Structure 1
Amino acid sequence: MPYFQSAEKEKLRKDLLTIGKQLFIHQGLKKTSIEQMTKKVGIAKSTFYAFFESKEAMYLELLEIEAEGMEERIWKRVENTTNAFHGIKAYLHQMVVELNTNILTNRLITNPDEMEMVKRKVTPKFVERKFQRNITPLLNYISEHQDKGEMVDTDPNVVIGFIRSALLIAVHKQDIGEEIFPQVEELMFQSVASTLTQQNNKE
């Protein structure tokens, strides 16, 4: 294993992440090999493991990089709403925007085989970071509005499962039909918000 100066090692790591992201986007995780990445960066395949445990571990790191700022954007939109009904709808719509923007995340959602490959490499630390970043703010929002009597008195984890399930409609976009998908998606999100809130779309 060659020795790298700190600055050189950091540059190689960034180069690998850049190349890896490009390849994952264009040909997917399954078809991307470590040899492809290291050849483009100009290092031996064995050197890859000085930076990442596996290509799946690299993908997980890229997911976290890609998601930077996502929660801030989501909750900024939610905070501008007037009640829980509009807040839930805003959350769902902004999540759609984020998923459409976050290409690697979107690929996983629509490619079950690659999702399984990545899931096998998920660490407890990754799960904890994701929970704190994605789930905790939503749990707090639900609990707050349940206390106000604005949301159904159901286990918050069940509510989160219901909300997240609605986002899976994106997987069926082609089946539903692209022309009518926006209207179907809007009806889905409106139904979810109505089901979860004690008040409908009151201003």
Structure 2
Amino acid sequence: MTGPVQDAKGCFPQAFRAELDLLMKLRRDVRRFRTDPVDEAVLTRCLSAVSLAPSVGLSEPWRIIRVGSDAARAAALKNFETANAEALADYSEDRAATYARLKLSGMREAPVQIAFFCDDETEKGHGLGARTMPEMRRYSVVTAITLFWLSLRAEGLGLGWVSVLDPDQMARDLNVPQSWSLIGYFCIGHPERLSDTPELEQEGWEQRFAALPIETR
């Protein structure tokens, strides 16, 4: 195994840590993509990061669907547009006006679209850690997604997490087993622009905490 040399305490060099910190700061939820294609070798390399993620009981419950056909993408887009219209109707006055301005998906532009599911009934891992907290399987998928996300950003690619949709309808449209639960639908491609500030913050939807909310008991 090659990489930055660790010191006697197992610490990585300061330059490496600074670059890792920058990578995390520049990991943004991208909604504005260019339409040029993504190199398949690069995408495969980024997807390999999923296998590095921790998982409860070593269950590796992630299940990945490449959404490539016109029919599947049209169904996903319809799902989003329906849910988006319903969400807009739930807001009132100024908040509704702000919501209407937001670009909440890159589904029309992103050249790569992927859905991550969790197999809630996988026998892999023999139930270790999931008997008491079955939601840990889904958390495991989220950690895998996070590593995938960072890997994409390191390759100059962006990822947009689309959550304004009906997950059950998505599962039906993609014809997955009933034991699979949608964790996220993702748009992937070359971002139109880069920023270290969340777009929702730029658009005035919400602000990040000024300080980390930590309590002591």
TM over 0.5: no
State the TM-score bracket (shorter-chain normalisation): under 0.3
Return the TM-score normalized by structure 2: 0.26
Q: Which has the higher helix share?
A: 1
Q: Which has the higher strand share?
A: 2
Q: Which has the higher contact order (CA 8 A, sep 6+)?
A: 2
Greater Cα radius of gyration, structure 1 or 2: 1
